[in-house]
Structure 1
């Protein structure tokens, strides 16, 4: 795993994009603070940049680096969630501007996955994580289902967990600073 982390880290630091396994589905990722790399992800997915992307961070400490105010309920949700859960936070900061939604929010997940944890920790930052498909096409449930266009469009494919079958993407919950909680995807 260390070799794969080192290889992926090198690509991320050079502004490249990677294809990697997450705690949910195979993801396309880049350094979440690099606007040029984020633009490459949007271009590869053929996705409008008005549709925000998810980021992964290693832990709570790192989460605080990218969100001005973490609502009290966030910690409870993170602790009790029995499946991968992405939270949309108000007032994103220290991220590529083209990654942040028009309303200033950002979707972030702390994954339960060793590779993602160590990659984010070694990068010392957030990693974009969006499903490995062209926008509007079905999310691949396995590495074998990833389209050749995606495979050719990334700078590095992580050679781990290629036999993993993914059931579905994470749940998404929006937690506003004013206390409003909205379930976006179960």
Structure 2
């Protein structure tokens, strides 16, 4: 795994996009602070850039680097949910402008996955994580189901867990600074 992390970090630092196994589904990712790399992902997915993407961070300390004010309830939600949960936070900061939603929010998940944790930690930053499909197409549940256009369109395919079957994407919760919680995807 160490060599894969090293190879992947090199690609991310050069502005490349990767195909990698996450704690949920196979994802397309890049350095979340690089607007050109983020644009490459929107182009590859044929997705309009007003539809925001998810980011992964290593831990709650890193979360505070990208969210001006992390509501106290966020850490409780992360702790008690028994499944991968992405939280949409108000007031994103220090990320590529084209990654932040029009209302200033950002969707971030702290994955319970060693590879994703190490990748974010070694990059010392957030990594984009969006499902490895063309917008509007079904999310592939395994590496074998990923479309050839996606495989050819990334700069690097992480050589881990090609046999992994992913049941479904994360839950998504919007947590406003005022404390309002809204479930977006169960």
Q: 2:184 matched to which residue of 1?
A: 184
Q: Secondary structure at the match of 1:150?
A: helix
Hey, what's the Cα distance between the residues in 1 that align with 2:130 and 2:144? 17
Write out the 4+ residue segments of structure 1 that deviate beyond 3 Å after TM superposition.
none
Hey, what's the Cα distance between the residues in 2 that align with 1:37 and 1:111? 21
Q: Secondary structure at the match of 1:3?
A: helix
Indicate whether 1:70 and 2:70 are aligned.
Answer: yes
Q: 2:85 matched to which residue of 1?
A: 85
Q: 1:38 matched to which residue of 2?
A: 38
User: Which digits, 9 at most, give the CA deviation of each residue in 1:10-63, with x for residues without a partner?
Assistant: 000000000000000000000000000000000000000000000000000000
How does 1:1-186 map onto structure 2 within 5 Å?
1-186=1-186
Give the unaligned 5+ runs of structure 2.
Answer: none
Once superposed, what is the RMSD of the aligned Cα atoms? 0.3
Cα deviation for residue 155 of structure 1 reads 0.1
TM-score, length-normalised on structure 1?
1.00
Hey, what's the Cα distance between the residues in 1 that align with 2:162 and 2:125? 25
Give the unaligned 5+ runs of structure 1.
Answer: none
TM-score, length-normalised on structure 2?
1.00
Cα deviation for residue 126 of structure 1 reads 0.1
User: Which digits, 9 at most, give the CA deviation of each residue in 1:115-170, with x for residues without a partner?
Assistant: 00000000000000000000000000000000000000000000000000000000
Hey, what's the Cα distance between the residues in 2 that align with 1:72 and 1:124? 23
Q: Give the total of aligned pairs.
A: 186
Cα deviation for residue 179 of structure 1 reads 1.1
